[in-house]
A and B are shown apart, each in its own frame.
Chain A
Amino acid sequence: MEIYTFVLLAVLAIGSALGMILSKNTVNSALLLVLNLLSIAGVYLLLQAQFLALIQILVYAGAIMVLFLFVIMLLNIDQEESFFEKVRVKYIVAFLLGAVILGQLLYSLGGVTDLLPEISPDMEFVGTVEALGDVLYTDYLFAFEMTAILLTAAVVGALMIAQYKKKKTDDSE
């Protein structure tokens, strides 16, 4: 049963990722990325990481992707044609490079396959909100507070970069 669920989620994730990079329309790409993030959240649930699965859906599939869609809507981008019309050497090189890197990753994975951990008996206690919160608010409290500062700085920086500056000449005196 678990294996079937995993295969279903994996096929969904890989298919939506491929659709994302090959889709002509930017909005379709963004929606397929949402599907990909949701199926990865399902894989997290299979790994009994309940807290991270929920955070993945809330933060990634919710907040970040809404931000992406807003920017796509604001920019009103025309569709990208050059990629789909002619096959260039560049694209073939890109696919070959990807295939080489995938082969390298899978080869090194096959080399260490007997060093990988077996399933731990306390897997189901690790991913709960209690376990994560317990460690997060004791051992990693400083890093957690730094995250708050980082997010504040990001919001202020984004406002500074993206705000519309009036031209000096428009300031009538």
Chain B
Amino acid sequence: MIEIDWYLALSAIIFTIGLIGVLIRRNAIVIFMCVELMLNAVNLSLVAFSAYHGDVTGQILVFFSLAVAAAEAVIGLAIILAIFRNNLSVDITKINLLRW
């Protein structure tokens, strides 16, 4: 059997990759996809703990987190669409309305 450590290590690695992606990319949609990646990494560690404890509550939490992620994706993409319509770009360095 695999120890739970391996699942948690995989979760940590995927989370870090998502974090680096948020820091280095400039395309708003790719940044958004990296946020989804980080959410998924956290879900993975929740499912691992839930299965190894034999407790169903963690998987219920993942279910709700999926629903919230779906809502967040819809709203975020709508905002990106609205920004693109005003700005004709999704490059985050060109969205500088609030910068002084």
Contact check, B79 vs A20: say whether CB atoms are below 8 A apart.
no
Tell me the dominant secondary structure on chain A's binding face: helix
We find that the number of chain B residues with CB closer than 8 angstroms to chain A is 71
Residues of B within 8 A of A67 (CB): 73-74, 77
Q: Which residue of B4, B17, B36 is within 8 Å of A117 (Cβ)?
A: B4
Tell me the dominant secondary structure on chain B's binding face: helix
We find that the number of chain A residues with CB closer than 8 angstroms to chain B is 83
Within the assembled complex, what's the spacing in Å between the Cα atoms of A125 and B54? 8
- Say how far A111's CB is from chain B's closest CB, in angstroms: 12
- Say how far B5's CB is from chain A's closest CB, in angstroms: 6
Q: Are A49 and B50 CB-contacts (below 8 A) given A55-B63, A77-B27, A135-B60?
A: yes
Contact check, A147 vs B67: say whether CB atoms are below 8 A apart.
yes
Q: Are A154 and B66 CB-contacts (below 8 A) given A80-B25, A83-B26, A122-B54?
A: no
Most buried by A among B55, B70, B82: B70
Chain B interface residues (CB < 8 Å from chain A): 1-10, 12-21, 23-27, 29-30, 32-34, 36-37, 40, 43-44, 47-57, 59-60, 62-64, 66-75, 77-82, 84-85, 90-91
